[in-house]
Structure 1
Amino acid sequence: MEILSILETLEDLVEKSVSVPFSGKCMIDKEEILEIIKEIRLKLPDDIKQAKWVKEERQRILLEAQKEANEIIKDAENKISSLVDEHEITKRAYEQSNEIVSNAQKNAKEIRLGTREYADSVLNKVEEILLETLQVIRSNREELK
């Protein structure tokens, strides 16, 4: 900022001024001091405007950063929520698949048992028919003798 350099000039002027003996005071060129004060007055509004702009810009940047941070947090929460939902969906799918496999195994066992019973029943019927046929054959043979 230019104001700071002008103030340094003013400070240098005071330090280099002639001091009044035994008083702690000094003699300064009135015109030179008034010129520096005038320059400060001219530069001060520009520097104040610039400082105000910097402050407003800082505030705007902070608000944007906060907004962006909130969006990132919201996106992260949504992602976490969707992952949890996906986990629940996956968990339910595994449960359903296990249930389907269990039911299929149960049905297969029932079918195997039913098939064995049916096969045994058919074979029993065939055996009965064969026994009857064998009886007929034996009786026919007896008649032939």
Structure 2
Amino acid sequence: MDILYLVDRLENLIANSKRMPLVNQIMIKEGDILNIVDQMRTSIPDEIKQARRIIQEKERILAQAQSDASTLLTRAREETERAMNREGLLRTAEARSHELVRQAEERARSVVVKAEEHGEQLKADADNYVAETLSNLKDHLASIEMDVSRTILSIEKGLESL
């Protein structure tokens, strides 16, 4: 379940609760609020699992990029060797070989750099998402705790006045 959906439910529960006259307090059933808090606790691991999946996808992309770069380099070397055998002109073949290897290495570096940048961005986005979600959850849980404490205090004062 989405943590933000649970936060919205909690806010709605608070907004739609009975108001106590004169004390600017609300009454909330303990079971209702504890149910939402329990759901929040169970949904946080799902959010973290999603962030882990993003990181694993980044690692998969990097591994694929390195594999592609290696394949490209191997093909370039093979092409260079075939060109040398076919043409028989060693100098021309060497020049072509060096150029193909250089191009392949350049492409490989480019692919790896792009994959690493993309992976780092995915990881940063995942880290930011997890940090923001946890921060929001902590803020909302603190707010809920304050509201519950105020409500309990108000109830205790009401009971004492009886």
- Normalised by the length of structure 2, the TM-score is 0.44
Highest CA radius of gyration, 1 or 2? Answer: 1
* Larger relative contact order (CA 8 Å, sep ≥ 6): 2
- Normalised by the length of structure 1, the TM-score is 0.48
